[in-house]
């Protein structure tokens, strides 16, 4: 089997990875990949991706992986439910799900709308009628929401945003910046200590108080890992859902016109199609083969790492035949996508991200009926690497 090295096509791949995935899928659903000097397996077929995301032989435990444990600068960040297996994952997810309820999420709806309206007011007041959507809207909306939900409205958001970017989309496109991870972890230790000393009615305080059936609580490291996961994942995915969604609409004016004409009937489907067509997470985080296993006709030996390309799976013609996987169609019906994952690690924050996306996109289009790309802005700046999918800036005019 030929070894795939995407580093030879970095700029083209970052701008549009889908032709590369299509070529790989034609050759087979699973491939050997070199990424950042390490060899891994890349899953590009939809059915094989679903299998990998639920395979009992594929572990998410970073700390148990010989290949990657030594690269983690701070162990606390690898103790969240994202990076653990049952039974520990079961316990952690149950404790968080107990507090991160549908009722709590739904209660945020009026506040999400209020924040959205305030940010759009500020954009509308700009005399040049131009703005970078990412900086002016797509970042501050979910950042404000997740900070208020966790009870940290005083978070140093500029610094936190910088750390987050260096972790999920490092400049070298490969590994999280150890300095950023260490600095964010130290900050979160102080934050959790402050919350423990002066708790409120917020989610972080609830997580500090909550106990499982046996009376156990989240350990200090588990609290840090959970805060890390909720703060980073709680805003980065929604930033790119909004940014990628607006780019898709502007690139498909017919679809944009249909959505403007019937927002009540089409906004839910439009958000789902945005998630499928150009979702915010390109690859799921690493899995590790606990035993020898077979996937897509390929033998993966114990100790190997596996990446599931969610973006590739969601353009698989075997799954999305009509009207074609590369067609952006907000009226699409049929099988669901993998943008939020699948199985026990399915994104716990998916309902919040969907709600924020629907409110944000609908309000943006209603407020600026002639919204368009800024022709003077130059080419997009794409996120490096293969974890997140999106642009760092999206200049618009109206």
Query: Considering only CA atoms, which of 22, 81, 58, 33 is closest in space to residue 292?
Result: 58
Mean pLDDT, all residues of the chain: 89
Say which residue, 81 or 56, is predicted with more confidence: 56
3-class secondary-structure state, position 32: strand
3-class secondary-structure state, position 327: coil
- The pLDDT tens digits for 235-270 are 889 999 999 999 999 999 999 999 999 999 999 999
Q: What is the pLDDT of residue 329?
A: 98
CATH class of 3-376+390-397: mainly alpha
- The pLDDT tens digits for 130-184 are 999 999 999 999 999 998 888 887 777 778 788 887 877 776 555 667 788 888 8
Share of the chain above pLDDT 70, in %: 92
Q: What is the pLDDT of residue 70?
A: 45
Beta carbons of 87 and 61 less than 8 angstroms apart:
no
b/e sequence 239-250, b meaning 16+ C-beta within 10 Å:
bbbbbbbbbbbe
Tokens found for residue 127: 């005399």
Q: What is the pLDDT of residue 83?
A: 87
Q: What is the bridge-based pairing of β-strands 395-397 and 130-132?
A: antiparallel
Q: What is the pLDDT of residue 72?
A: 47
**Residue 10: pLDDT band with limits 50, 70, 90:** confident
**Residue 213: pLDDT band with limits 50, 70, 90:** low
**pTM higher than the cut 0.85:** yes
Query: Considering only CA atoms, which of 347, 333, 316 is closest in space to residue 49?
Result: 316
DSSP-derived secondary structure for 301-315: -TT-EEEEBHHHHTT
Lowest model confidence (mean pLDDT) among 71-75, 140-144, 292-296, 388-392: 71-75
Tokens found for residue 78: 């690898």
Lowest model confidence (mean pLDDT) among 88-97, 155-164, 223-232, 311-320: 155-164
Lowest model confidence (mean pLDDT) among 6-15, 359-368, 369-378: 6-15
Q: What is the pLDDT of residue 73?
A: 46
Residue 218 has pLDDT above 90, yes or no: no
Say which residue, 166 or 305, is predicted with more confidence: 305
Which residues are registered as beta bridge partners of 4?
A: 33
Q: Tell me the mean pLDDT in the region 93-99.
A: 87
- The pLDDT tens digits for 181-211 are 888 888 888 888 888 898 998 888 998 888 7
Tokens found for residue 170: 């490092």
Instruction: Give the dihedral sign, CA 64/69/72/75.
Output: positive
- Whole-angstrom distance, CA of residue 318 vs CA of residue 16: 21
- The pLDDT tens digits for 98-115 are 888 888 889 999 999 999
Q: Tell me the mean pLDDT in the region 71-98.
A: 78
Q: What is the pLDDT of residue 1?
A: 64
- The pLDDT tens digits for 116-127 are 999 999 999 999
**Residue 212: pLDDT band with limits 50, 70, 90:** low
| Residue appearing with tokens 């609908």 | 362
Beta carbons of 380 and 394 less than 8 angstroms apart:
yes
């Amino acid at each position: 089997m030929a070894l795939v090295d995407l580093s030879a096509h970095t700029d083209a791949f970052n701008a549009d990875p889908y032709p590369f995935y299509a070529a790989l899928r034609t050759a087979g659903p699973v491939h050997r990949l070199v990424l950042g000097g390490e060899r891994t397996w890349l899953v590009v077929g939809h059915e094989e991706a679903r299998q990998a995301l639920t395979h009992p032989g594929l572990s998410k435990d970073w700390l148990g992986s010989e290949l990657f444990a030594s690269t983690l600068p701070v162990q606390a960040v690898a103790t969240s439910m994202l990076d653990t297996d049952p039974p520990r994952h079961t316990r952690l997810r149950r404790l968080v799900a107990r507090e991160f309820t549908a009722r709590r999420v739904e209660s945020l709806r009026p506040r999400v709308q209020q924040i959205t309206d305030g940010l759009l007011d500020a954009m509308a007041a700009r005399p040049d009628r131009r703005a970078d959507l990412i900086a002016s809207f797509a970042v501050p909306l979910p950042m404000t929401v997740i900070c208020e939900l966790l009870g940290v409205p005083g978070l140093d958001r500029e610094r936190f945003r910088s750390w987050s970017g260096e972790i999920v989309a490092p400049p070298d496109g490969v590994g999280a910046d150890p300095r950023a991870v260490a600095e964010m972890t130290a900050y979160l230790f102080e934050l959790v200590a402050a919350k423990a000393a002066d708790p409120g009615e917020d989610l972080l305080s609830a997580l500090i108080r909550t106990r499982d059936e046996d009376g156990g609580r989240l350990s200090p490291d588990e609290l840090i890992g959970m805060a890390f996961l909720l703060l980073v994942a709680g805003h980065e995915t929604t930033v790119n859902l909004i940014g990628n969604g607006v780019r898709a609409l502007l690139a498909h004016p017919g679809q944009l016109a249909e959505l403007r004409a019937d927002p009540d009937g089409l906004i839910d489907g439009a958000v789902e199609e945005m998630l499928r067509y150009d979702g915010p997470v390109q690859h799921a985080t690493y899995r590790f083969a606990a035993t020898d296993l077979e996937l897509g006709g390929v033998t993966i030996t114990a100790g190997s790492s596996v990446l599931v390309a969610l973006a590739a799976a969601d353009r698989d013609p075997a799954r999305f035949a009509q009207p074609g996987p590369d067609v952006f169609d907000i009226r699409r019906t049929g099988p669901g996508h993998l943008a939020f994952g699948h199985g026990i690690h399915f994104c716990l924050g998916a309902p919040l991200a969907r709600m924020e996306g629907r409110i944000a996109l609908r309000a943006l289009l209603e407020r600026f009926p002639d919204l368009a790309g800024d022709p003077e802005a130059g080419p997009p700046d794409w996120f490096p690497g293969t974890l997140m999918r999106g642009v760092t800036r999206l200049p618009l005019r109206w």
